[in-house]
A and B are shown apart, each in its own frame.
Chain A
Amino acid sequence: MDAKVTKKKLGLKERYAAMTRGLHWETTYQPMDKVFPFDKYEGIVIHDWDKWEDPFRLTMDAYWKYQGEKEKKLYAVIEAFAQNHGELGVTDARYINALKLFIQGVTPLEYYAHRGFAHLARQFGGDGLRLACLYQSADELRHQQTETHAMSVYNKYFHGMHESNHWFDNVWYLSVPKSFFEDAFSGGPFEFLTAVSFSFEYVLTNLLFVPFMSGAAHNGDMSTVTFGFSAQSDESRHMTLGIECIKFMLEQDPANVPIVQRWIDKWFWRGYRLLTLVAMMQDYMLPKRVMSWKEAWEMYAEANGGALFADLARYGIRLPKGWADACEGKHHISHQAWSTFYQYSQAAAFHTWLPSEDEIAWLSQKYPDSFDQHYRSRFEHWRALHKDGGRWYNNFLPMLCQTCQVPMLFTEPGDATQIAFRDTTYHGMKYHFCSDHCCEIFEHEPRKYAQAWLPVHQIYQGSCYPEDINPASPGDSPVREVLRYYGVDGGKDNGEFASSPDRKHFATWSGRTAGSTTMPTEPAK
């Protein structure tokens, strides 16, 4: 009911209190623990929810106003970009494959984050934290939508974007981000916060955002850059939430420290493994490079992250367990991942190619301790096959890590000649892992990871064939049938870039050729 306004408008501070904390009440018909059943079972002890410091003082109406203004600007740019055929202004058509990886593998995570934070916004017993999660939930939904809109112009002209949601749910490499987030939001609310807000948004976010958004700027993609700007203020809010939530848990009770430490160990490693895809994109998929993965790792992880953990030491928190191995991996993972996608490109949903001579020289310079010594000869072998008109594909499915679901492509820390194998036995069955850390994550909660939906195993179980295929005998080319189920159009959506319609169309429409010149222009036999 409308009351007659007698008083002056509330001041900013009062208004904030009334519109946020003022909306909370203690339930009387039901005990609070029954109304909020999720916020204790993980073992995190909260004595006083009022100690939660709101990292940003934002009311809902102000939130809608800011977001609405950003949205107007963003859509004006997207519209202008489409009108002016901005998609033809990018460096070359290879760049668009970085966007495919983004729309396939990152955009669906925004939606998962939206769902995860919506759950938290309902389930935390403290009103301040619930409200922060509500904003973030709305942000993430907005990001999923605006990314989709920013990239939709590319989908009109290029392949490899049209079934991205279906691919996210089925295709092997996309199970890496998918399982990461499903692992996070099937944990409890505090673990989700540690996983997503702290480990991902706070510790690792720059390693995701810089390659894609600066990559877009360097490669003439104003549509994606504008999305990046539009998301930036949200991201800084998310980062603040990440650090606040960690400090809040650590300050509330000493019993929380070992639980949080274990989550940091786990989620740092899960996030790091997920970023393998970004490392590869950064070093191999941007025609105009921003910085190498190794440089980005040194700046954002080693320098910034190192300072962060030095600061958290006063709470009894140390560096994540996998830290040293991740730092050692900076010399290797992008090369190992691109080699993998190069040879399995016919089973993916974007194009791959060999780096040009100039790019090889760049890699050699940026990776003085690893590229020439360990990786150059395999690329040169493949290049020699190209010159003979061949294009090598690996036609057999790889073994996957049970935890991170990445193919077992990582080498032993300190020995780039040897694939790293770890295994354990659980209820009479063997489980295999890429690293000590993925093995340890499994062993801590084996019931959770024993049910992992590994795409390769699922193909063999018959879960990824069209209805007209008998999974017991899928015929002469199971991979072809799987691609049919995925809705991936072989050669158009994937395979060698040099012989792709994307390359041809981009050249015709823009009047500029793209890609390196040593590639065969006809499809391989």
Chain B
Amino acid sequence: MSATPATDFLRSIGEYPMRQQDLEDRFYGKRLIYVSWENHLMYAAPFCLPLPPTLPFGALVRDVLPELYGEHPEFEAIDWQRTQWFNGGKRFLPDFGKSIEHHGLVHKSLIRLRTPKLEGSRETDSQGRQKF
């Protein structure tokens, strides 16, 4: 077991072993990837998906994202060439032929995608109401 970091202020009356509940090897060969289509708040929260690390990035875009977000009125209009991708806060340029693992998307990474000109809640309708 690795040492408890000095920043852990937890107090206990006895042994308190470090146990991580969500280690990658508990997900049957998959890893958790979170996906957030930024500012599209019709979807209450980002998604949590178990994905094979070998899944090509292109398959994520072609097969997975339409399942997640296909019912949004803006989804059809997405220009995938102009879409901006972030691993957490860090921008990256995807290679659709290479795996999610290749892109540095480790277990529990958060993919955020921004779709220029389709900015959901950043835009307002004719009555000044935030879109979704």
Q: A276 contacts the other chain (Cβ, under 8 Å)?
A: no
Q: B110 contacts the other chain (Cβ, under 8 Å)?
A: yes
B interface, by DSSP: helix, strand, loop or mixed? loop
What are the residues of chain A within 8 A of B11 when measuring CB–CB?
Answer: 41-43, 188
Q: B67 contacts the other chain (Cβ, under 8 Å)?
A: yes
Q: B22 to A429, Cβ gap below 8 A?
A: yes
Interfacial residues of chain B within 38-77, with CB under 8 A of chain A in the complex: 38-39, 41-50, 67-68, 71, 73
Q: A418 to B46, Cβ gap below 8 A?
A: no
Choose from A344, A372, A381, A417 the contact partner of B39 (Cβ within 8 Å): A417
Interface residues on B, range: 35 or more
Choose from A399, A423, A472 the contact partner of B28 (Cβ within 8 Å): A472
Q: A376 contacts the other chain (Cβ, under 8 Å)?
A: yes
Q: A396 to B67, Cβ gap below 8 A?
A: yes
Interfacial residues of chain B within 79-102, with CB under 8 A of chain A in the complex: 88
Q: A399 to B21, Cβ gap below 8 A?
A: no
Shortest beta-carbon distance, B17 to chain A, in Å? 8
Encoded as 1 (CB less than 8 Å from any A CB) or 0, chain B from 11 to 27 comes to 11100111111110011
Choose from B8, B46, B49 the contact partner of A446 (Cβ within 8 Å): B8
What are the residues of chain A within 8 A of B131 when measuring CB–CB?
Answer: 377
Q: A37 contacts the other chain (Cβ, under 8 Å)?
A: yes
How many A-B contacts if CB must be within 8 Å?
A: 156
Encoded as 1 (CB less than 8 Å from any B CB) or 0, chain A from 387 to 407 comes to 000001010111110000001
Q: B130 to A419, Cβ gap below 8 A?
A: no
What are the residues of chain A within 8 A of B45 when measuring CB–CB?
Answer: 340, 398-400, 407-409, 419
Q: A430 to B106, Cβ gap below 8 A?
A: yes
Encoded as 1 (CB less than 8 Å from any A CB) or 0, chain B from 118 to 132 comes to 001110010111111
Choose from A372, A419, A447, A456 the contact partner of B18 (Cβ within 8 Å): A447
Interfacial residues of chain B within 107-121, with CB under 8 A of chain A in the complex: 107-110, 120-121
Total count of chain A residues near the partner, CB < 8 A: 60
What are the residues of chain B within 8 A of A374 when measuring CB–CB?
Answer: 121, 129-130
What are the residues of chain A within 8 A of B129 when measuring CB–CB?
Answer: 372-374, 376-377
What are the residues of chain B within 8 A of A447 when measuring CB–CB?
Answer: 4, 8, 10, 16-19
Q: A398 to B10, Cβ gap below 8 A?
A: no
Choose from B4, B23, B39, B44 the contact partner of A409 (Cβ within 8 Å): B44
Choose from A37, A381, A396, A472 the contact partner of B47 (Cβ within 8 Å): A396
Q: B110 to A377, Cβ gap below 8 A?
A: no
Q: B46 to A460, Cβ gap below 8 A?
A: no
* A445 CA to B46 CA, complexed, in Å: 26
Q: List 22 A-B contacts (CB under 8 A).
A: A37-B13, A340-B45, A373-B130, A378-B42, A396-B68, A398-B47, A398-B48, A399-B36, A417-B121, A418-B38, A419-B41, A427-B20, A429-B20, A429-B108, A446-B7, A446-B8, A447-B18, A448-B10, A450-B21, A454-B21, A457-B22, A471-B28
**Pairs of residues from A and B, 6 with the lowest C-beta to C-beta distance, nearest first:** A340-B44, A417-B121, A378-B132, A398-B45, A407-B45, A445-B10
A binding-site residues for B, Cβ under 8 Å: 37-38, 41-43, 188, 336, 339-340, 343-344, 372-378, 381, 392, 394, 396-400, 407-409, 411, 416-419, 421, 423, 426-427, 429-432, 443-448, 450-454, 456-457, 460-462, 471-472
